[in-house]
Amino acid sequence: MVEEMSALTIRTATTEDAQAVARVHVASWRGAYAGIVPDEVLATLDVDAREQRWHDNLADTTVHTWVAEVADRAIGFATLGPARDEDADDGDLELYAIYLSPESWGTGAARELMRTLLAEVPAAARLTLWVFADNDRARHFYKRHGLAPDGVERLEEFGGTHLTEVRYVRTGA
Tens of pLDDT, residue by residue over 126-159, are 999 999 999 999 999 999 999 999 999 999 998 8
CA distance 14 to 143: 29
Q: Could you tell me the CATH number of the domain that includes residue 32?
A: 3.40.630.30
CA distance 80 to 117: 7
Tens of pLDDT, residue by residue over 105-120, are 999 999 999 999 999 9
Distances (CA, A) of 165 to 10, 60, 112: 28, 25, 24
Asked whether the beta carbons of 98 and 139 are under 8 A apart, the reply is no
* Opening angle at CA 133, ends 17 and 93, nearest 5: 50
Residue range(s) defining the domain that contains residue 142:
2-170
CA distance 42 to 36: 10
Tens of pLDDT, residue by residue over 6-19, are 599 999 999 999 99
| Prediction pTM value | 0.93
Is residue 168 scored above 80 in pLDDT?
A: yes
CA distance 169 to 126: 7
User: What is the mean predicted confidence (pLDDT) over 49-67?
Assistant: 97
Q: How many domains does the chain have?
A: 1
Alpha-helical runs (H) found in 33-148: 39-44, 47-59, 109-119, 136-144
- For all residues of the chain together, what is the average pLDDT? 94
Q: How high is the pLDDT of residue 4? A: 43
Beta sheet of 64-70, edge-to-edge order: 8-12, 64-70, 73-82, 93-100, 127-132, 161-170, 148-158
